[in-house]
Amino acid sequence: MRSLPQDTEPKHSESRASSPEPSHAAPPLDERTRWNAKFVGGEAQSFEPDPLIVEAAASLPPGAALDLAGGAGRHALWLADRGWRVTLADISDEGLAIAQQRAAAAGLALSLRRESAADTIAWATAHDSHFALIIVCWVLLREHFPAVPRLLAPGGRLVYKTYNAEHPRFCEGHSLRYALDPGELRSAFPALQTLLYRESEGVAELIARAAG
């Protein structure tokens, strides 16, 4: 497997990642602006995949994957390096620019979509696209709980991890609109078979499987 680079500076090689496709219906400006500012400020730029993603995907055969609201692409790049065909979707221009630079430096192919999660789901639904793996990590997307499982291929896996309201960050001024209720993720996807569920110290983790 190729080694991913250890910095975020652009390299002078042509990226194999596709240019981000713009949304037909742009998300609220404040959300795009908020996330662009985070990436410009150096936040959310880890290279290492979350341990839950490694736990869920390391033994799976490569297929089509969707990294939904995947930011700078640490999970998308890790999967692409292992042969997955990855669509990375995010509202942030800056986050996807980082992902594109990193993909170019590593010689990896990503399909990038610059749009809201709602637009990504609408696109996948309209094109009858299904994925062997869907990742939702450190973002809530509660309003899309019903739709996400319908994008899984038979036997596909959903990996979901984010904060609940008991996490200390919500005692420090962060809005609870971005938090799960305690225990909420356990029952969020009743059509899927739960393979793993953990919840502690204000973080909930789920690996679930579609029928088939």
pLDDT for 110 equals 97
Six token digits for residue 162: 């984010």
Q: Is it the case that residue 168 has pLDDT exceeding 60? A: yes
The answer to whether 203 touches 197, Cβ cutoff 8 Å, is no
Beta strand 21-22 with 64-68 is: unpaired
pTM: 0.82
- Upper half-sphere CA count for residue 68 (Cβ side, 13 Å): 30
Range of lowest pLDDT (23-37, 39-53, 123-137): 23-37
Report the CATH architecture of 47-209.
Answer: 3-Layer(aba) Sandwich (3.40)
Please tell me what DSSP assigns to residue 208. Answer: E
Q: Backbone dihedral region of 152: left (phi > 0), alpha (psi from -120 to 50 degrees) or beta?
A: beta
CA–CA separation, 43 and 23 (whole Å):
24
What average pLDDT score do residues 50-54 get?
Answer: 97
Q: Is it the case that residue 194 has pLDDT exceeding 50? A: yes
Residue 53 is inside which H or E element, if any?
helix 51-57
Q: Is it the case that residue 165 has pLDDT exceeding 60? A: yes
Please give the residue that has the higher pLDDT: either 91 or 8: 91
User: Mean pLDDT, the chain, as a whole number?
Assistant: 85
